[in-house]
A and B are shown apart, each in its own frame.
Chain A
Amino acid sequence: MSDSTNKTPDGNWTPRIVAFFCNWCTYTAADLAGVSRMKYASNIRVIRLMCSGRVDPQFVVDAFAKGADGVLIGGCHPNDCHYVEGNYKCLRRYQMLKRMIADMGIEPDRLRLEWISAAEGEKVRRVVNEMVETVKQLGPLGIPAKFEQWDKEMNALAEHVAASQGAGAPGSSGQNKPQTAQTAHV
């Protein structure tokens, strides 16, 4: 399990943002930002998908579970999707996810969807910088640390139950580990 916060070598926390960019618009826009030598925050880790429609809500939840402090999704503008309407499908899932993560206790601002066309290198810079600022304001999310804490509590509880039931009880606690986020999707 990864540590909950991303520390720079000097020990300061800095956010980690996982981005899912569609191949045709936003990934290309990020390439353009590069070619144009625009400078933006280095906290972003881009994962390339063919279409924002490929963004499985599980990817987003998994990224938070593994220690992302924010998740950014980038797709083509409405009516401009390379695959006709994948971006609309993404929008629907995004709206669902926004409500869902709020229920899970994650600030909805940690998730952002942006339409960025291949020509909008400048927008990549702006959105990434804004996103990093927003997440910095919100502070570390630290879900993996919480998992560890919960695992500890569950283990302690299990041991406690096992101890109170006596050592000979069937289905001994050893194999009965609580499920963690890492095992959730395998």
Chain B
Amino acid sequence: MNIMETRKNEPVRIGFYVCHCGVNIAHMVDVEAVAKYVATLPNVVVSRNYKYMCSDPGQEMIQKDIREQRLNRVVVAACSPLLHEHTFRGATEAGGLNPFYFQMVNIREHNSWVHTDRLEATRKAMALARAAIQRVPHHKPLEVKKVPINPDVLIVGGGIAGIHAAITMANAGKKVYLVEKEPSIGGHMAMFDKTFPTLDCAMCVLSPKMATVGSHPNITLWTYSEVVKVDGYVGNFKVTVRRKPRYIIEDLCTGCQECVANCVYKEPKFPDAFNLGLGKRKPVYMPFAQAIPSIAIIDPEVCLNFKRGKNPDGSYTVSDKCKKLCVVACGDRKAIDFSQKAEDKEITVGTIIMATGFKTFDPRRTPYYGYGVYPNVYTALELERVINASGPTEGHLVMRNGKEPKRVAIVHCVGSRDENTNRWCSRVCCLYSLKLAHLILEHTDAEVYNFYIDMRTPGKSMEEFYNRVAEEGMHLVRGRVADVYPDPNDTASGRLIVQAEDTLTNRILKIPVDMVVLSVGLEPRPEAEDLRRLFNLSCSSEGWFLERHPKLAPVSTFTDGIFLAGCCQGPKDIPDSVAQAGAAAAEAFSLIDKGYVEQEPNTAFVLAEECSGCKSCIPLCPYTAISFNEETKKAFINEALCKGCGTCVAACPSGSIVQNLFEDQEIFSEIDGVLAPLPQ
């Protein structure tokens, strides 16, 4: 900063650097011609091209030139500023200049990667470079503002990713709010029987972690709750969480389940969501045996003590028609409260981790597989429940008709790699199909057919797993199943014909089977779009939350302070979900432990002497950062509230609002620069 003061009245001396990016830029842009052209522009003292500007030698070149050539402005033409602006600002600062004397020109993402005519691409690069050269003389030294960060963290979603992130952060002493939509944490993993490639029982590895979450002093667990409002920004998010009524007071319930045992319904009658409707439950129930929190819940849709149907506001009216044997059973604990209402909790957190997971593909969208029509067609997730010892059949692999299957077909790629449904590969299906094949062989004497398109088993120990399961003896048929229909020669037994081309023998197979298992793909949750808006995230065109950079910022989002973990970002297996949860936690730590967030100094300020006091700007600001000083009759911008969008600047009729880094004069110079004539 001191250096700058002394250089204030010096003439502008610009250093220009154009990057080859290996061949990424140089193959389409004649970088030497660009450097040569820029050298002829006013104020340019140094104009160079170099193979990798972001490398250490590249950055040192800038620093050396600043010192030796007494540069006071730096322009780099390379990749997107979203990728390396920070790097080069750092180099500029290291050379002894204010980092905001730097300007970046994007000639890779916006030029060499998207154009095909080298001459035109080169001319475009020249025009963009010139815009920056004309812009930088107007740059001012600016200071990065530091705002303290709230160390608390919100984790949305209590599947394995959210659980792992929560424990990681809580163990490090951070206060964690874990919000889960369902009555228990555990997510999809809690529904699985065994996990590939190790074949350890999913619940055996998960339930200790669930219990840790439930008892951890640093974790506030809110299940059956949803985030309804998010305000603020990195370091200081204000979040409203709606706790839906479960009609059981959490603090009073001991999880004894006597209410369940004593319910007026003697037998479970209603489809059990955790078992995907394959089992039954009562109106008062425990979501599943190992549920955390271990607290019962009442379903007002079917409980006799409520009137049928929802009120328009989503609440239910107590009918008081039931004998309420549950309340009697609960006795002194007094944990049942039919008058419970939804409750909104407001919290402030500095960082947020999204771990909202996925849903499985609904195979009714591929009607030729007969799901929902033929009872012996199951989804893979349903089979997980059927095969699970705590599932509806207590681990006996029997079909809806109570019989054990003699032959089972597993159909891969249902709702994956298909232009008519979902285009992506869901990544886990091949492996879980092999796992299910293994489990079927373990539980029964059935013959198993796996119909696959390509067997995809990447990852540590996965190919070995494939090899091991294949050795157990099953039919692996390379061909996508085209049709599933009842055996016309045996309509009574419910036997189905699975028809596919065996592409490796060029034959059409029609295999009679008792049971068909559809390996359904993973897709974004239906509420992902609402969450995206709520948290101001981006989604890919498929609907997955978009990471900031596919390689270099895989768990960050475009909203600072919000990170992604698990399948909400895209299909992945348990090891990857856990790894990503750890990464998201680490990213959150690095923000929190720094203690403050740096704010881009692109805020706006009012030139008081020029302000006419018209108040046009005041209603435009969504952050109410602009106030009106009744004494001086001038507008005033609170820098701490300003987010730097520049909307007020564009609206000010007297031109008396200035946005740092985006001053009018800077933009006009850019416009002039991109349109200036180029050498022929």
Give me the interface of A with B, judged by CB distance under 8 Å: 2-3, 7-9, 14, 16, 18, 23-25, 27-28, 30-31, 33-35, 37-40, 42, 45-51, 53-59, 62-63, 66-68, 79-80, 82-86, 89, 93, 117-120, 122, 125, 185
Contacts and interface: CB of A to CB of B under 8 A. Distances in A.
A68 B659 contact: no
Given A35-B550, A46-B110, A59 B668 contact: yes
Contacts of A7: 680
A42 B120 contact: yes
Given A42-B115, A42-B121, A56-B650, A86 B645 contact: yes
Interface string B540-564: 1100001000100000001100000
Nearest to A128: B114
A125 B533 CA distance: 25
Interface in B633-676: 643-647, 649-651, 659, 662, 664, 667-668, 670-672, 674-676
Nearest to B135: A47
A49 B674 CA distance: 15
Contacts of B672: 66
A118 B557 CA distance: 11
B80 to A, nearest CB: 5
A2 B677 contact: yes
Contact of A63 (B110, B662, B671): B671
B110 A117 contact: no
Interface stretch (B124-132, B178-186, B388-396, B452-460): B124-132
A89 to B, nearest CB: 5
Contact of B674 (A18, A25, A33, A122): A18
Interface string B579-613: 00000000000000000000000100000000000
A50 B602 contact: yes
Contacts of A51: 645-647
A9 B119 contact: yes
Contacts of A68: 671, 675
Given A31-B82, A34-B80, A119-B546, A46 B106 contact: yes
Interface string B498-512: 000000000000000
A122 to B, nearest CB: 8
Interface residues of B, number: 56
A10 B670 CA distance: 26
A85 B622 contact: yes
A99 B664 CA distance: 23
Given A34-B110, A62-B668, A9 B121 contact: no
B539 interface: yes
B538 A119 contact: yes
A41 to B, nearest CB: 8
Interface of B: 80-82, 106, 108-111, 113-117, 119-121, 123-124, 127-128, 131, 533, 536, 538-541, 546, 550, 558-559, 602, 620, 622-623, 643-647, 649-651, 659, 662, 664, 667-668, 670-672, 674-677, 680
B246 to A, nearest CB: 32
A131 to B, nearest CB: 14
A49 B558 contact: no
**Which of A30, A45, A59, A68 neighbours the largest number of chain B CB atoms within 10 Å of its CB?**
A45
Nearest to B538: A118
A84 B671 CA distance: 27
A98 B12 CA distance: 38
B131 A33 contact: no
Contacts of B124: 42, 45
Given A28-B558, A37-B113, A59-B671, A50 B677 contact: no
Nearest to A62: B671
A18 B675 contact: yes
Contacts of A83: 622, 643, 645, 647
Closest 6 CB pairs of A and B: A34-B109, A54-B646, A53-B647, A83-B645, A84-B622, A45-B674
B612 to A, nearest CB: 17
Nearest to A122: B541
Contact of A89 (B539, B602, B644, B647): B647
Contacts of A55: 650
Contacts of A58: 664
Contacts of B659: 50, 54
B677 A34 contact: no
B671 A117 contact: no
Contact of A39 (B80, B114, B647): B114
B187 to A, nearest CB: 25
A116 to B, nearest CB: 11
B647 A54 contact: yes
**Which of B108, B533, B677 neighbours the largest number of chain A CB atoms within 10 Å of its CB?**
B677
B116 A39 contact: yes
B668 A31 contact: no
Contact of B668 (A45, A57, A80, A185): A185
Contacts of B646: 49-51, 53-54, 86
25 contacts: A2-B677, A7-B680, A8-B123, A23-B82, A31-B80, A34-B111, A38-B114, A39-B114, A45-B124, A49-B662, A51-B646, A53-B646, A53-B647, A55-B650, A56-B667, A57-B650, A59-B668, A66-B672, A80-B536, A82-B558, A83-B645, A83-B647, A84-B622, A84-B623, A117-B538
A84 B624 CA distance: 12
A86 B662 contact: no
Contacts of A53: 620, 645-647, 650
Contacts of B667: 47, 49, 56, 59
B541 A79 contact: no
A56 B558 contact: no
Contacts of B559: 82
**Which of B106, B121, B650 neighbours the largest number of chain A CB atoms within 10 Å of its CB?**
B650
Contact of B558 (A24, A33, A37, A66): A24
A40 B558 CA distance: 25
Contacts of A38: 114
B651 A89 contact: yes
B650 A37 contact: no
A24 B559 CA distance: 9
A1 to B, nearest CB: 10
Given A48-B81, A83-B622, A63 B675 contact: yes
Contacts of B644: 50
B675 A2 contact: yes
B645 A79 contact: no
A185 B667 CA distance: 12
Nearest to B648: A53
Contact of B676 (A2, A49, A118): A2
B608 to A, nearest CB: 21
A45 B127 contact: yes
A30 B83 CA distance: 13
A27 B127 CA distance: 18
Contacts of B533: 79-80
A132 B668 CA distance: 23
Nearest to A24: B558
